[in-house]
Structure 1
């Protein structure tokens, strides 16, 4: 049973006049008649009866009209929903480390929701490893991560690059050179720097003896500012403190810290994801624009 035949029948059943139905649909009257006859042949029952000059629906015609109305209404809703796939629409979950959430996301999210008000956006703050897991598990639609991503199921879109830097508060350097400092104060670390940067310490022949582990980069930065020890961080999170002289760069490592957007390759046709990726690429270097 063809949908176009059902649409023709629906109009003919409402008009009860094939000439008017043909005018409304832009068909010829013989064309309308052929489609009605095709339906009657398929159903095995007449759909219209004629009394004098007036057409009426038969019991089979009334039943078909009832179901055709319901079916065509559902198909209309489907057409509307399919068109929505071409524009950003519906829920979008973005996962990102805390620093990116606070430093970059406010401006990007503000503009994104202004341009695409039909999107319901949710942010999740967690580290890069957990972000990758959430995207792979369909619990986040887009992720922003630090470091390389080799998962073959993920599309990786580079958006930034920065230096790894070895840092300490200037007060800790008083009367000590770099090597003396590195071997006399605690080293502040979290597991993410080693996962992302690999063996950075070999570049400066550094084997820390006293290590204090933290759960976040923000915690490491605060401890470094409090003169607790030295640390390795991506430069972006401490650039203001470096500029203000609150932290001193002891070494810039050759390896760069890359920042990327990730999403599942199978979802590369989803408008909300692609719009977010494009806007983040555009605004990452200046998220306040």
Structure 2
């Protein structure tokens, strides 16, 4: 098998960027003849001329430009590997791959990622899906972190680490026109149409227990597993929503919706789920450290 000689490639890479054999030889601390020999051997291996001489300068051929693009990527990846495993800062763009449950509040996601947004050297990749699919991708190292509002089952085979990153109260939210004046909280729950999270939600069982204690048979207008859809329904006046206020933060601030009352002893906890890794993504480490500060 004809394998690429990376020693030859390093010489080529240096000459291509210097544009001159003399400067390249000085930088590599070898003789010009040694550099020329390495370049010729690489050209023989690739079967293409990589340079053409113009006066005292060497100019890349078409094949040389293609080879240089690959060489740049190869040596940049090598430097990134050394930086990652050596836990050193890198000059390359850093990427954080985030998995987020499709039902999770967008406002919460933005709040968690805000310290990284807008940085020139950072790219955030966000993928949504079911918790099961996201955890599989986390375990396969295709994701760095999964954002969820429930903790996944933990055992010796899948030692998830669930960082509690936020705890939000749960409130009854609605359009001002639907509320009226001085209507008791319990009466609103009993007589107004409600938009509730589905039975799989972490807060639904607590809501059901409250209805039972108050002997309320709620008028359920909709059961929704997507916080973004709950936000739209309550904005349209489909009912009063049982939801963390962060989900409708903008509407509360501009007065389009109002927070009627917070449910006692009821909250929703958000988690950043990770795996224990020897070389964690430094961007994730920064976000988790900010939470502890």
Q: TM-score range by the shorter chain?
A: 0.5 to 0.7
Match of 1:279 among 280, 287, 290: 287
**Aligned partner of residue 228 in structure 1, secondary structure:** coil
The question of whether the paired residues in 1 share the 8 Å contact of 2:201 and 2:225 is answered with no
Specify whether residues 171 and 100 from structure 1 end up closer, same or farther in structure 2 by C-alpha distance, changes over 3 A only: closer
The question of whether the paired residues in 2 share the 8 Å contact of 1:197 and 1:257 is answered with no
- If the length of structure 1 is used for normalisation, what is the TM-score? 0.56
Q: 1:216: how far off?
A: 1.4
Name the count of aligned residue pairs: 204
Corresponding position of 1:93: 97
Larger radius of gyration between Structure 1 and Structure 2: 1
Which structure 2 residues correspond to residues 262-277 of structure 1 after superposition, within 5 A?
262-265=273-276, 267=277, 269-272=278-281, 274-277=282-285
- If the length of structure 2 is used for normalisation, what is the TM-score? 0.56
The question of whether the paired residues in 1 share the 8 Å contact of 2:197 and 2:242 is answered with no
Specify whether residues 105 and 98 from structure 1 end up closer, same or farther in structure 2 by C-alpha distance, changes over 3 A only: same
**Aligned partner of residue 201 in structure 2, secondary structure:** helix
Corresponding position of 2:265: 254
Q: 1:103: how far off?
A: 2.9
Are positions 1:145 and 2:148 aligned together? yes
Q: 1:270: how far off?
A: 1.9
Q: Distance between the aligned counterparts of 1:101 and 1:248, measured in 2?
A: 18
Structure 2's unaligned 5+ residue stretches are: 1-76
The question of whether the paired residues in 2 share the 8 Å contact of 1:163 and 1:256 is answered with yes
**Aligned partner of residue 104 in structure 1, secondary structure:** helix
**Aligned partner of residue 191 in structure 2, secondary structure:** coil
Structure 1's unaligned 5+ residue stretches are: 1-76
Which structure 2 residues correspond to residues 229-244 of structure 1 after superposition, within 5 A?
229-244=239-254
Q: 1:110: how far off?
A: 2.6
The question of whether the paired residues in 2 share the 8 Å contact of 1:186 and 1:230 is answered with yes
Corresponding position of 2:14: none
Corresponding position of 1:221: 231
Corresponding position of 1:68: none
Are positions 1:158 and 2:164 aligned together? yes
Match of 1:183 among 183, 190, 209: 190
Specify whether residues 192 and 278 from structure 1 end up closer, same or farther in structure 2 by C-alpha distance, changes over 3 A only: farther
CA displacement 1:153-172 (0-9 Å, x = unmatched): 21122222110112222211
Q: 1:149: how far off?
A: 4.1
The question of whether the paired residues in 1 share the 8 Å contact of 2:199 and 2:205 is answered with no
**Aligned partner of residue 236 in structure 1, secondary structure:** helix
Q: Distance between the aligned counterparts of 2:194 and 2:263, measured in 1?
A: 16
